[in-house]
Amino acid sequence: MSRPGAHNPGPVLVRFATAWLLLFGLAADARTEPLVADLSSHLIAITTGFTGTEVLLFGATEGEGDVIVVVRGPETEATVRRKRRVAGIWINTGGVTFERVPSFYAVASSGPLEKVVAPEVRAQQQIGVEHLQFQAPGDISESRLRRYRAALIQNKQQAGLFSREVGKVTFLGERLFRTSIYFPSNVPTGSYMVEVLLVRDGEVASAQTSPLIISKTGIGAEIFEFAHNQSALYGVVAIIGALVAGWTAHLVFRRI
């Protein structure tokens, strides 16, 4: 089912991108643009055969520095519940609802984060899962908040929606860099922000953000939209479909 073109843009695209960047880079020289970057695709279409995909990010820097890439999915609310043993059975008790939790989060860097960028900057720019600043409203003790926050991150990592490790940004020569961002099949839809930071001496020297849209297309999108916009009609159609399927099965197998 996989279309090789969609998964791995291949050397042709890279070469094209490199050539394009060189031209752009020369033009940028005049204006001394310290950082330019772009994605191989600004739209990920979730079709019926979607099993996850990779998006290539490439760019060029002016002068020294490391590159950090941060990808954020649309923000949501998330409720974390803890299981406790009650009368021998594990049941959900007490929950904490966090606000503004990115539905997807990934980081890539050209060097180890601790060496590349100062801790204050990491905290301020929310680089790395440990620096994500989602808040829980209400009166919750600090230690409880910390435990639930850690659990939320761990669950998101297990689902493949938060990166476990920092991805690699590789330099091709002095100025050109590239990295690939992987989106799993359960990736939430919506508008994403891809932030590219140029870091010098532990400080952010330049930044650029590119939007990325992930949306369902084709028959799957139509079914989803139908189910949500005209849910009563959808229910009726689902029932009629099941009735016809059952009746057909009866007719087919009566003959055999």
Partner 1 sequence: MQIYLPIAEMSLNVFLLLAIGGGVGFLSGMFGVGGGFLMTPLLIFIGVPPAVAVATQANHVVASSVSGVLAHWSRDNVDFKMGFVLLIGGLVGSTLGVILFSFLRRVGQIDLVINLAYVMFLGLVGILMLVESARSMLRRRRRSGAPRKLHQHTWVHGLPFKMRFRKSRLYISALLPLSLGFVIGILAAIMGVGGAFLMVPAMIYLLGMPTAVVIGTSLFQIIFVAANVTFLQSVENQTVDVVLGLLLVIGGVIGAQFGGRLSAKLRAEHLRILLAILVLGLAIQLIFELTRTPENLYTVAALAPGGGP
CA distance linking residue 177 with residue 167, whole number of Å: 13
Task: Choose, by CB under 8 A, the member of 89, 137, 142, 255 that binds partner 1.
Answer: 89
Quick check: 196 and 209 in contact, CB under 8 A?
Answer: yes
Tally the residues of the chain. 256
Cα gap 215→190, rounded to integer Å:
6
- Applying CB under 8 A, the site for partner 1 has a residue count of 71
Tell me if residue 188 falls in helix, strand or coil.
Answer: coil
User: In whole angstroms, how close is the CB of 124 to partner 1 at the nearest point?
Assistant: 24
Start-to-end CA span in the chain (Å): 34
Q: Which 113-152 residues touch partner 1, going by CB under 8 A?
A: 148, 151-152
The single residue among 34, 167, 190, 202 that binds partner 1, judged by CB under 8 A, is 190
Our finding on whether 7 is near partner 1 (CB under 8 A) is no
212: contact with partner 1 by CB under 8 A: no
Task: Pick the piece of the chain touching partner 1 (CB under 8 A) from 64-72, 111-119, 173-181, 211-219.
Answer: 211-219
> Please, which residue, 47 or 208, has the CB nearer to partner 1?
47
Residue 220 binding partner 1, by CB under 8 A: yes
- Are the CB atoms for 208 and 58 separated by under 8 Å? no
Figure out which of the listed residues 124, 170, 209, 215 binds partner 1, where binding follows CB under 8 A: 215
Rounded Cα gap, residues 71 and 73, in angstroms: 7
Least distance between partner 1 and beta carbon 182 (Å)? 14
- How far CA 167 is from CA of 86, 113, 127, 180, in Å, comes to 42, 11, 12, 8
- 36 is a contact residue toward partner 1 (CB under 8 A): no
Spatial separation of the C-alpha atoms in residues 249 and 108, rounded to whole Å: 53
Beta carbon of residue 64, minimum distance to partner 1 (angstroms, whole number)? 38
Nearest to 214 by CA among 194, 196, 182, 192: 192
| Per-residue contact flags (x/-) with partner 1 for residues 45 to 84, judged by CB under 8 A | -xxxxxxx--------------------xxxxxxxxxxx-
Residues 6+ apart with CB under 8 A from 122: 113, 128, 131
Question: Toward partner 1, which CB reaches closer, 27 or 242?
Answer: 242
The SS3 call for residue 27 is helix
Nearer to partner 1, 72 or 178 (CB): 72
Smallest gap, in angstroms, from Cβ of residue 46 to partner 1? 6
CB of 101 to partner 1, least distance (A): 7
> How far apart, in whole angstroms, are the C-alpha atoms of residue 181 and residue 236?
41
Indicate the residue among 91 and 123 with the shorter CB distance to partner 1.
91
